[in-house]
Amino acid sequence: MRKYGCMSFSWVVAMCALILGACYSDGHAQPRAKVDKVTVDIGTVLEGQDASHGFLITNEGDAPLVIKPRPC
């Protein structure tokens, strides 16, 4: 029996924040993604079970934020 907790889920959220928020300021308009929560405790999820959580991502920059799906 394998348990998945907030540690692996936190890693996913942190990676999303890094990917979406990785922009630099060079004087031009840039999007800036902000995720509503950086960690979520989803409790214990046993192997074979599904878990999901929604995140609110807002653009606090001054250019359009484009989020494209990527295959797993």
DSSP symbols for 10-45:
HHHHHHHHHHHH----SSS----EEES-S------E
pLDDT digit string, tens, across residues 20-57: 655 454 578 899 999 998 888 889 999 999 988 888 99
Give the integer Cα–Cα distance in Å for 59 and 66: 9
Q: What is the pTM of this model?
A: 0.49
